[in-house]
Structure 1
């Protein structure tokens, strides 16, 4: 019997317009009433996801900034890992940030180097938004995630340069084709999921997980019952070819699979 459902948001639980599907919310609420627990695992900021959780109407654990922060359903922080400040200061310089929209995720704030109104579409349900700051001169403290947004081809080159320069000093992944994300080396959704499983006293074999992109890889490898979205990044499918694929987020694939798994 499944006891915990861990799910990504964008490209997975949320509709393609990055909003909550009412039928999906109703499905989660029904399962919660049956005693099922939830963990929302995303690259988004904690303050953003807390608001989305309210729209979903469930008491979920929040794994945010790709696992750099974990909060319980009462918003108590139970896990946090930051990038070393000197690495933040180096990674925010033009050598790495040129050609991208650069952001920093702090515990309670989102700093951006220059306005980017295109990002508004991701925050319709939460209302959480950035503050423009002098990011290249920020001291590097309290940074859970560095986010570079840009053209995929450019980000692929940037990914290679960061890996070559820093090797195992950082965890580097994509949350979308246009989003390259950098965290401390021990951060991942998979590691954060083990924290939640430990808090709940649930074995991984009683956990199902849903994801669509490379930052979901470790979470899918941790859960006993992992599922890849039909709209998944081909690199994720290639990395985990044995995992079952379900319907896309446009088809509310997570809700459809949960109906099948729980017989509702």
Structure 2
């Protein structure tokens, strides 16, 4: 039986309104009461993830910013790894002048952007943080956990992903959380790496982990888990590279909670 339950947030556990429903909250609390471990794994900033966790009044592990920061049951930071300063600088200058792309940065407790055009897939309502504008010529590139690029020009983002991978290879981990959002973190970490740390911390095999996701940034944690479940609304590329993963339904229908209820509770 599975003892670690790892779930992505946006497009997976959260509703289309970016909320955890009452039903899902109830199921999570029942699972924890049975002695199971729950891990929230997301590209979201650690402050936003802490707010979601605290609103449920639960103790869980958290993989934040796709693995750049990992938190334990008592909110202790158990791992962090930032982008190399020179790499961060190069990435930011790549798109700074491109009016079709917003370059966004998570640095410590702050969120920086270089433009706020709604047409560039900008979604400020998804974060509690107040964004600040920045210019690379006057910016300090240290302590950057994640750089992400948003746009409705998907072709540009796909080309940008290819360029980053070709030029930086394993120095970074680049992946899409959704077709309009390309996220880049240090090559030394990822959601999958975070899950390995938590598994080792608990002394529980990855074979005893069931994982849920919907985006390409979920791929490596899904691949290493004992059971992988992906959403009906998942990125088509994720479905194609994980043909044996179980497709469980849409996030609009509380599909993760329904699945877990049937597996562990009923």
TM over 0.5: yes
Distance 1:95 1:47, change over 3 A: closer
35-44 or 111-120: bigger deviation: 111-120
Once the two structures are overlaid, the 10-residue window that deviates more, 109-118 or 223-232, is 109-118
Indicate which of 194, 197, 204 corresponds to 2:196: 194
* CA deviation after TM superposition for structure 1 residue 136, in Å: 5.1
Of residues 214, 217, 233, the one that matches 2:216 is: 214
Written as runs of structure 1 = structure 2, the 5 A alignment for 1:225-264 is 225-264=227-266
Deviation, 1:165, is 2.0
Q: What SS class does the counterpart of residue 246 from structure 2 fall into?
A: coil
1:104 match = 105
d(CA) in 2 for partners of 1:258, 1:30: 10
Pairing 1:56–2:59 present: no
Q: CA RMSD in A?
A: 1.6
Q: Is the Cα contact below 8 Å between 1:93 and 1:136 reproduced in 2?
A: no
Q: Which residue of 1 aligns with 2:186?
A: 184
In 1: Cα distance, 2:8 partner to 2:215 partner? 9
Q: Which runs of 5+ in 1 are unaligned?
A: none
Q: Work out the number of aligned pairs and report it.
A: 261
Higher alpha-carbon deviation: 128-137 or 196-205: 128-137
1:142 matches 2:143: yes
Say whether the 8 Å CA contact 1:91–1:97 is kept in structure 2. no
Assess if the C-alpha contact under 8 Å between 1:97 and 1:148 holds in 2.
no
Task: Give the match for residue 115 of structure 2.
Answer: 114
After superposing the two structures, state which structure 1 stretch, 114-123 or 139-148, moved more.
114-123
Q: 1:172–1:183: 8 Å Cα contact kept in structure 2?
A: yes
Would the alpha carbon gap of residues 261 and 45 (structure 1) be closer, same or farther in structure 2, given more than 3 Å must change? same
Deviations along 1:5-43, whole A, 9 cap, x unmatched? 100000000001111111101110111111111110000
Deviation at 1:133, TM superposition (A): 2.6
Deviation at 1:130, TM superposition (A): 2.1
Q: Distance in 2 between matches of 1:96 and 1:162?
A: 15
Deviates more, 1:158-167 or 1:28-37: 158-167
Deviation at 1:84, TM superposition (A): 0.6
Is 1:96–1:158's contact at 8 Å kept on the other side of the alignment? no
Q: What are the superposed Cα offsets for residues 174-207 of structure 1, whole Å, 9 maximum, x if unpaired? A: 0011100111112210010011111111111221
TM-score by length of 1: 0.93
Once residues 11 and 113 of structure 2 are traced to their aligned partners in structure 1, the CA distance between those partners, rounded to angstroms, is: 23
CA–CA distance in structure 2, aligned partners of residues 79 and 161 of structure 1? 28
Distance verdict in 2 for CA 1:35–1:112, change over 3 Å: same
**How much does 1:95 deviate?**
4.6
Alpha carbons 1:16, 1:249 under 8 Å: kept: yes
**Contact (CA 8 Å) 2:12, 2:256: kept in 1 or not?**
yes
